[in-house]
Amino acid sequence: MPDIINLNRYRKRRRREEAEQIAAARRLEFGRSKPQRELQASSERLLEKSLDGHRRIREDDT
């Protein structure tokens, strides 16, 4: 005799698996993770701050 299956649980599990497959495809498509994006943004801000500190004529003085 076959096992009894709760259809609600089956549907939920199937939806979760499909969502995970979509998420995995999008991660491959769009590339970087959030920590990687934040690290690059902070390094860009640091570089911009360093360059602004070396300007001869500041924008607010003109």
The pLDDT-based confidence of 61 (bands split at 50, 70, 90) is low
- Side-chain-facing half-sphere of 61: CA atoms under 13 Å: 4
- Hey, how many other C-beta atoms are within 10 angstroms of the C-beta on 39? 12
pLDDT score, position 2: 82
The pLDDT-based confidence of 55 (bands split at 50, 70, 90) is confident
Which residues, at least 6 apart from 40, have a Cβ–Cβ distance to it below 8 Å? 32
pLDDT score, position 11: 97
pLDDT score, position 19: 97
